[in-house]
Amino acid sequence: MPISTTLAPASDLYLAPPSHLVLQLAGRRAAAFHLPVSCPPTPNDCLGASFFVYLPTTHPVTRRAKGVDTQGEGTTSYPLLVLIHGSGRDAESIRERWAGWAEEKGVVLLAPLFPCDDRYPDGVDNYKRLHWETPNGVARYDLLLLDAIDYISKRWGFVQTERFGLLGFSGGGQFTHRFMYVHPHRLWAASIGAPGQATFLEQKPWPKGISNSSSLFSHPIEPVSFRGLPIQLIVGSADTLPRVGEVVTRYDVIQKLRGQFEEGGIEHEWVVVDGVGHSEKGVLEDVKRFITQHLPATTNGKLNGHTMEIPTVEPVNA
């Protein structure tokens, strides 16, 4: 049966033979993948990124990797949850902490490992700001994430990518709230955990404020655009030690962010986990509860928001 030009195509890996190496790797939790890049024309094209994926065992690509003939079956489009690492760059560990939950709920996980260029003093922190100016040009880490999402949509398929959940703790919390500012329409929920620094809704230059957001991101940041988005602000009650070289604590930072959200009419869930310091594991269960509460349903017969037919064609190498 031919695929209509109005329908989304099946994923590359779905059409690969079961013996295909990348298909086999895609069905394993241990595999890491690298986003293909090209240089030039823009510095953003030269960044590249590694990422870790978790597919539920019911996902068609996972089943095909095990030799199951899934052609001709109905399709399921799985929600996507993106997990942002902090300065420790432990993307794989974060993926593992969420894997059991993802299997139970039927969710695809994407845990990017952003590039770190140690030639520059702030190389470990650059991704947290989304927009980073280098001697060679501007790097956009928000766009790099969207590139990775587009890539897994094409290669893995059967995943809802028009909107996704986003969460991060510490440095990941920095990335998460800034991404939410710039791309609120792409999210179905955002959990912001204990950021050491924040972009406040003030007329100061980015990343301290949003006064120049139009010149950096091609559109102004409008707080009204993320009103109604499920947002969680979470921190441990004992997260009271300042970052190295600073005076304010992460608790202070997120408290100020909370105050600005309240003043701006931005609804959010405020969670202080009793007795917990600066610990992602210490707040994990409350984050899982929040994400579960706002998790969109899997959809049948759709792929990335488009009705899809499974083609009965011979598998080809991907």
Supply the pTM of this predicted model: 0.87
Greatest mean pLDDT range, 128-142, 268-282, 300-314: 268-282
User: d(Cα 26, Cα 107) in Å, to the nearest integer?
Assistant: 15
Cβ–Cβ under 8 Å, residues 80 and 159:
yes
The mean pLDDT value for 249-268 works out to 97
Does the structure show a pLDDT above 70 at 317? no
Check residue 49 and report its DSSP letter.
E
Cα Rg of the chain (Å, integer): 20
Domains assigned to the chain: 41-296 (3.40.50.1820)
Give whole-number Cα distances, 280 to 26, 61, 159, 284, in Å: 27, 31, 27, 6
The mean pLDDT value for 166-192 works out to 98
pLDDT top residue among 43 and 32 = 32
pLDDT in tens, 51-98: 999 999 888 888 888 888 766 555 678 999 999 999 999 999 999 999
Does the structure show a pLDDT above 80 at 236? yes
Scanning 106-223, the segments in alpha helix (DSSP H) are 141-155, 171-182, 213-217
Q: How far is CA 276 from the centre of its chain?
A: 25
**Within a 13 Å sphere around the CA of 146, how many CA atoms are in the beta-carbon half?**
17
Amino acid 128: pLDDT = 95
Percent of the chain surpassing pLDDT 70: 79
Cβ–Cβ under 8 Å, residues 234 and 271:
yes
pLDDT in tens, 183-201: 999 999 999 999 999 999 9
Greatest mean pLDDT range, 17-26, 238-247, 273-282: 273-282
pLDDT in tens, 2-15: 222 223 345 778 77
Taking alpha carbons only, the member of 198, 184, 171, 178 closest to residue 226 is 184
